[in-house]
Structure formats: structure tokens, C-alpha cells
């Protein structure tokens, strides 16, 4: 019997890097509201008292970048007295997109070269790895209780880790939960531990049929103090939480960030498509675990490669699965944009930056739908 451990982390919307992700995606949202053909590559940097927004944008609308940034910071909960708040300085250094990139995108090709991965596994109803799911839900619960002022001592910055124990690739329990929460000066560590265990962690574990009494190790604010946080305690930058945004390290990652990029950037759109493909393959019963890789060349319409890996759980060999993928799913950048409604989304990209882009059940995301399952079953004679 083989015993292994696997860990995923998640961070709150008030984490310095996540603040930057949300600002970058809020700029994208604002562009798309009036001009769905906007080309956006927006990056944000945040430190004590200062936010710098830069990158390349080509759009027919006006974006008040300073106001967008301040609105996000206020929404997250940063107020005067925390070393960083919505009255901070905001510098806008955005310029237009390079014509060398535009000439490739205008013909329907990819906005850059790169590799993208998507995956699905039957560890949860949403076909996500359990570790990242638990970590995300712990942060969501923490933020909810903070915003409702149930946790009156909590400040916006927080991060968590969940370590699962496996035996022969099957989950047998939770080994460790780590949670660090920014807090007011006058709260005790004992109060933080009590509130976090009883009000945050316990209900999340119960939702996923896990018993808190069986968790072997807890590390709640393990240094004993976390008063200084956010960009005042640690500089933030767009795109530094790509593993948090996806599968918590359970599946591979091509390295490209999502936030601040319009859907001509395959870093974003093809990663969503890879999740869509993998989820529908697993839901079709063709595998219990599946990872899809797509690759693109700048200015080229079709992907340079499609690869399916079922980790020896597939009912068909992977070459046949790859052929099914190419027949069922249209994989050019423009077709991906159309299939997943990425130019006219029914959601805000900033909300994806807040709590993750993959496996969300609170938002109707096109790449989370299982509308290709019956077609896949028909192609494999498994009605």
C-alpha cells in the first residue's frame, strides 16, 4: 500500500497579488462593457500607498483606471489605517497594443505562442481536486463571515493550505490545515483559533463530508501575529497566483496567467477550453482523471498540438480520445471565444480573479457545463 500526501493553497481577495489580479480584470471588464473587441493586456503592481497599472490596451471606450482600482480596493475591505486603502496613489502607464501582435490576431490566430492545461478528476461533484476545493471554500467562508462582520477582528489578507493523505491514489483523510488570517491588534490568538475552527473550517468540512475531529494537524496563524498585511506587508503583482487560480498544483500548468488578458490571449481562453474538454470527458465516463494540453503559435489559427492524458484511468486509448476532442470541440482562438462567450460573458472577470477561474459552482461558467457529454457518448457508442 502506497501512502502519499498532496497539498493545495488558496488566498483571499485581500492578498496583495489577488488585489492586482482583480484590478487588472476589472479594467478588462470595463473595456468589454462598451467595446467587446477590446484588446487588453493589463498588469498591476501594488505596494504601500501605491498602485501602478500598466500594459497594452486597444479599445474604443474610456476607462477611468484610477477609479476602477480604488473601487476594487474599497470593495475588498481596505480602509484608512491599514497601511493601504482606496485613497492610495494610482499611476496609469497603459499604452496601445503592438501592431506586430495585432497582425496575427486580426487574422484569427492566437495572440501568442504557449501551452495550456486543463483537468478534471472525480474527487468532488464539480470534478475538481478535493484539496484546492477545500482550500477555496475555507477562504470563501472566511471572507463571507468577515464581510458580514461575524468575524469582527478579521482583516482582508488571508491564505490557507490543505494537505490530503492518499493511499493507492485514494483519499483517506485530511492530514493538515493551515490558515493565516490578518487581524486587528486587540484580538487574542486563542479567539482567532476558536472562531476559525468552529465558524470557518468546520462547516466547510461538513459540506464535503469530512470530520474536523479527524484532521491530524492545525496551524492557525502559526507565527502568532498577522496584523500588517496586504500590499503594506508584501508587494502585489498580477499573475503570481496561477496555481491558486486553477487546480492547486494537482494538474500541470503552462505558466501563463489569466487576469488582465482578453480572450484573444490563449493563456486564458485555451486554458478554459482545456478544462471544458477534460470535464466533459470525465463526465462521459471515459476516465476518472483527465488532463488536456493544448498548444498554439502566434498568428496561427489551429492548435499546434492536442494531448489527452488519463493517467491509466481511460476506457479508450489516448489517441482515440484526442481524435474525439478534435471532432467535438472547435479549437481555434476565435471559435473558443464564441463557444465560451468570452467576448460577451454573463459574468465579470474580476469575480473569477476573486475566487478562482476553474471549478466554480456559484457562477454559470460556460467551461464548467457538461453539454458535450451526450455527443461524446454517441461517438463512443456508450449511450
197 vs 351: CA distance, rounded Å: 26
Which grid cell sits at 332? 481555434
**Is 95 marked within a binding site?**
no
**Does the annotation place 353 within a ligand binding site?**
no
Known binding residue 217? Answer is no
CA distance 131 to 173: 11
Instruction: Report whether 302 belongs to an annotated binding site.
Output: no
Q: 17: annotated binding-site residue?
A: yes
383 labeled binding residue? no
Q: DSSP class of residue 214?
A: G
Q: State how beta strands 114-121 and 154-167 pair.
A: unpaired
Residue 289 marked ligand-binding: no
Largest CA distance in the chain: 64
Residue 123 assigned to a binding site: no
**DSSP alpha helix (H) spans, the chain:** 16-34, 65-76, 99-105, 130-147, 189-195, 202-207, 230-233, 266-283, 318-328, 333-339, 349-355, 373-379
Three-class SS state of 170: strand
Is 157 annotated as a binding-site member? yes
| DSSP annotation of 197 | I
271 is in an annotated binding site: no
HSE (side-chain half, CA atoms, 13 Å) at 203: 13
241 labeled binding residue: yes
189 neighbors 232 (Cβ within 8 angstroms): no
**Bridge pairing between strands 39-47 and 236-237:** antiparallel
* 197 in a labelled binding site: no
12 Cβ partners below 8 Å, 6+ apart? Answer: 18, 139, 142, 143, 156, 157, 158, 159
Tell me: is residue 79 an annotated ligand-binding position.
no
Phi then psi for residue 6, to 5 deg, are: -135, 135
Question: What CA–CA distance (Å, rounded) separates 131 from 248?
Answer: 7
155 is in an annotated binding site: no
Cα 197 from Cα 205, distance rounded (Å):
10
The three-class DSSP label of residue 107 is: coil
Binding site residue list for Mg(2+): 17
Please enumerate, by residue number, every residue annotated as part of a binding site.
15, 17, 43, 56, 97, 157-159, 225-226, 234, 240-241, 257, 261, 265
| Known binding positions for K(+) | 43
Binding residues for ATP: 15, 157-159, 225-226, 234, 240-241, 257, 261
Enumerate the known binding-site residues for L-methionine. Answer: 56, 97, 234, 265
Amino acid at each position: 500500500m502506497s501512502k502519499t500526501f498532496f497539498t493545495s493553497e488558496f488566498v483571499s481577495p485581500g492578498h496583495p497579488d489577488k488585489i492586482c489580479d482583480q484590478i487588472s480584470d476589472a479594467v478588462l471588464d470595463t473595456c468589454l462593457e462598451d467595446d467587446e473587441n477590446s484588446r487588453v493586456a493589463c498588469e498591476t503592481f501594488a505596494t504601500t500607498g501605491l498602485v501602478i497599472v500598466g500594459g497594452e490596451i486597444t479599445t474604443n471606450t474610456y476607462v477611468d483606471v484610477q477609479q476602477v482600482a480604488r473601487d476594487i480596493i474599497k470593495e475588498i475591505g481596505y480602509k484608512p489605517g491599514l497601511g493601504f486603502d482606496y485613497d492610495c496613489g494610482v499611476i496609469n502607464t497603459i499604452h496601445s497594443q503592438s501592431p506586430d501582435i495585432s497582425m496575427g490576431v486580426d487574422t484569427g490566430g492566437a495572440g501568442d505562442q504557449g501551452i495550456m492545461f486543463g483537468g478534471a478528476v472525480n474527487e468532488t461533484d464539480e470534478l475538481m481536486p478535493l484539496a484546492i476545493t477545500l482550500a477555496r471554500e475555507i477562504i470563501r467562508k472566511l471572507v463571507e463571515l468577515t464581510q458580514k462582520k461575524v468575524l469582527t477582528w478579521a482583516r482582508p489578507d488571508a491564505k490557507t493550505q490543505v494537505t490530503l493523505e492518499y493511499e493507492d491514489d485514494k483519499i483517506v483523510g485530511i492530514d493538515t490545515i493551515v490558515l493565516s488570517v490578518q487581524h486587528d491588534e486587540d484580538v487574542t490568538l486563542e479567539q482567532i483559533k476558536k472562531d476559525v475552527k468552529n465558524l470557518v473550517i468546520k462547516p466547510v468540512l461538513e459540506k464535503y463530508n469530512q470530520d474536523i475531529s479527524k484532521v491530524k494537524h492545525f496551524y492557525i496563524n502559526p507565527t502568532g501575529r498577522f496584523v500588517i498585511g496586504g500590499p503594506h506587508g508584501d508587494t502585489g503583482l498580477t499573475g503570481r497566483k496561477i496555481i491558486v487560480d486553477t487546480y492547486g498544483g494537482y494538474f500541470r500548468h503552462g505558466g501563463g496567467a489569466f487576469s488582465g488578458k482578453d480572450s484573444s490571449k490563449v493563456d486564458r481562453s485555451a486554458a478554459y477550453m482545456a478544462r471544458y474538454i477534460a470535464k466533459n470527458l470525465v463526465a462521459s465516463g471515459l476516465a476518472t482523471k483527465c488532463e488536456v494540453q493544448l498548444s498554439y503559435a502566434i498568428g496561427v489559427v489551429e492548435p499546434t498540438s492536442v494531448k489527452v492524458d488519463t493517467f491509466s484511468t481511460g476506457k479508450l486509448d489516448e489517441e482515440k480520445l484526442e481524435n474525439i476532442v478534435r471532432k467535438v470541440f472547435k479549437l481555434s482562438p476565435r471559435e473558443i471565444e464564441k463557444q465560451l462567450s468570452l467576448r460577451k460573458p454573463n459574468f465579470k472577470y474580476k469575480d473569477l480573479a476573486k475566487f478562482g477561474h476553474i471549478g466554480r459552482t456559484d457562477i454559470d461558467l460556460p467551461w464548467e457545463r457538461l453539454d458535450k457529454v451526450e455527443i461524446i457518448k454517441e461517438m463512443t457508442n456508450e449511450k
